[in-house]
A and B are shown apart, each in its own frame.
Chain A
Amino acid sequence: EAGVTQSPTHLIKTRGQQATLRCSPISGHTSVYWYQQALGLGLQFLLWYDEGEERNRGNFPPRFSGRQFPNYSSELNVNALELEDSALYLCASSGGEKWDNEQFFGPGTRLTVL
Chain B
Amino acid sequence: DQQVKQNSPSLSVQEGRISILNCDYTNSMFDYFLWYKKYPAEGPTFLISISSIKDKNEDGRFTVFLNKSAKHLSLHIVPSQPGDSAVYFCAAGYNNNDMRFGAGTRLTVKP
Q: Which residues of A contact B (CB under 8 A)?
A: 4, 35, 40-45, 48, 55-56, 58-59, 90, 92, 98-100, 102-108
Count contacts on B: residues with CB < 8 A to the other chain.
27
> What are some 8 contacts across the A-B interface (CB < 8 A)?
A42-B4, A42-B103, A42-B104, A45-B101, A98-B96, A102-B46, A103-B99, A105-B45
Docked Cα-Cα span, A59 to B45, in Å, equals: 24
Given known pairs A42-B4, A42-B101, the reply for A99 and B44 (CB within 8 Å) is no
- Quick one: CB contact mask for B12-43 with A, threshold 8 Å, 1 for yes? 00000000000000000000101010000111
How long is the Cα–Cα vector from A75 to B100 in the complex, in angstroms? Answer: 22
Asked if A100 and B43 sit within 8 Å, CB to CB, the answer is: no
- A107:B104 contact, CB within 8 angstroms: no
Q: Does any Cβ of A come within 8 Å of B59's Cβ?
A: no
Give the docked Cα–Cα distance between A100 and B99 (Å): 8
> Chain A residues with Cβ under 8 A from B6's Cβ?
42
Contact across chains for B102 and A45 when beta carbons are under 8 A apart = no
B25 shortest CB reach to chain A, Å: 12
Cβ contact of B89, chosen from A4, A43, A58, A98, cutoff 8 A: A43
- CB nearest to A91 among chain B residues: B43
A104:B89 contact, CB within 8 angstroms: no
- A99-B32 Cα distance, complex, nearest whole Å: 10
| A107:B46 contact, CB within 8 angstroms | no
Any A CB within 8 A of the CB of B91: yes
Q: Indicate if the CB atoms of B46 and A42 lie closer than 8 Å.
A: no
Please tell me which one of the listed residues B46, B96, B102, B103 contacts residue A99 in the complex, with CB atoms under 8 A apart: B96
Residues of A within 8 A of B103 (CB): 40-42
